[in-house]
């Protein structure tokens, strides 16, 4: 028997010796994280998509660490969206809200997932194409779609990485806040966040979200 046939036979025998689980696909988790954003106008609950893993991991890490606690919804536009999460909004200077910290890292766009800007979609803010042709996302600022028909002209341009599953009416209340010429609410609307890991079946029962 030549060396080639011997090697092929050894590889074949090794594959047969692998345990049965080695050839099975990884089991999908039966649980998911529910993020609750608490404001003085009510609570918003959302889930994050598994096929946008970079954005999901970044958001969950920050939410669990308390990064977003004390930040505000600093930009509100009725029939469009509400935006928040800038750590600058924790300080006493309203003029730097939305600018983000200097040298803040970005997250590579995850547009191939193809999620749409439906009502209640969770998406990442970013700088414009002229300075950001790769459409990389801010690592902190996010927005929630308030338009009940969606904002689909943004589809494929900004990464959508989650969906509100309860509290859409709170988004409407936020969008209706009195604001200045920069679309900043006249009074700070601060948020806190918590993350709960629940069985997907329970999430469907509580919030009607279908996986």
Q: What CATH number is attached to the domain comprising 179? A: 2.40.100.10
Band (pLDDT 50/70/90 cuts) for residue 103 is confident
Q: What angle do CA 84, 90, 91 make, to 5 degrees?
A: 135
pLDDT surpasses 70 at 107: yes
Structure token digits, residue 18: 């692998």
For the cut 90, the answer to whether the pLDDT of residue 102 exceeds it is no
In a domain, 176, yes or no: yes
Q: Output the average pLDDT for the chain.
A: 90
Q: pTM for this structure? A: 0.86
Distance CA 138, CA 89 (A): 15
- Residue 138 falls within a domain, yes or no? yes
The total number of structural domains in the chain stands at: 1
* 135-159: pLDDT as tens digits: 999 999 999 999 999 999 999 999 9
Mean pLDDT value of segment 43-51: 98
13 in any annotated domain: no
Kindly state whether residue 26 falls inside one of the protein's structural domains: no
Q: State yes or no: pLDDT of 18 exceeds 70.
A: no
191 within domain boundaries:
yes
Share of residues in the chain with pLDDT > 70 (%): 87
Q: Is the pLDDT reported for residue 16 higher than 60? A: no
Domain hosting 161: range is 31-207
Report the pLDDT value the prediction gives residue 27, as an integer from 0 to 100.
Answer: 63
Average pLDDT over residues 86-115: 93
7 pLDDT more than 80: no
């Amino acid at each position: 028997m030549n060396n080639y046939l011997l090697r092929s036979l050894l590889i074949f025998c090794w594959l047969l010796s692998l345990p049965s689980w080695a050839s099975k696909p990884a089991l999908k988790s039966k649980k998911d994280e529910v993020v609750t954003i608490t404001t003085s106008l009510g609570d918003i609950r959302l889930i994050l998509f598994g096929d946008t893993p970079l954005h999901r991991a970044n958001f969950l890490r920050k939410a669990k660490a308390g990064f977003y606690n004390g930040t505000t919804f600093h930009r509100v536009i009725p029939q469009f969206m509400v935006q928040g999460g800038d750590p600058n909004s924790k300080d006493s200077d309203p003029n730097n809200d939305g600018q983000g910290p200097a040298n803040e890292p970005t997250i590579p766009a995850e547009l191939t997932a193809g999620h749409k800007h439906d009502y209640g979609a969770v998406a990442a803010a970013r700088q414009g194409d002229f300075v950001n042709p790769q459409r990389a996302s801010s690592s902190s600022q996010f927005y929630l779609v308030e338009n009940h028909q969606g904002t689909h002209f943004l589809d494929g341009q900004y990464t959508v990485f989650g969906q509100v599953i309860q509290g859409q009416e709170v988004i409407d209340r936020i969008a209706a806040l009195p604001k200045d010429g920069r679309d900043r609410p006249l009074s700070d609307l601060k948020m806190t966040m918590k993350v709960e890991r629940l069985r997907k079946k329970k999430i469907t029962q509580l919030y009607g979200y279908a996986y």
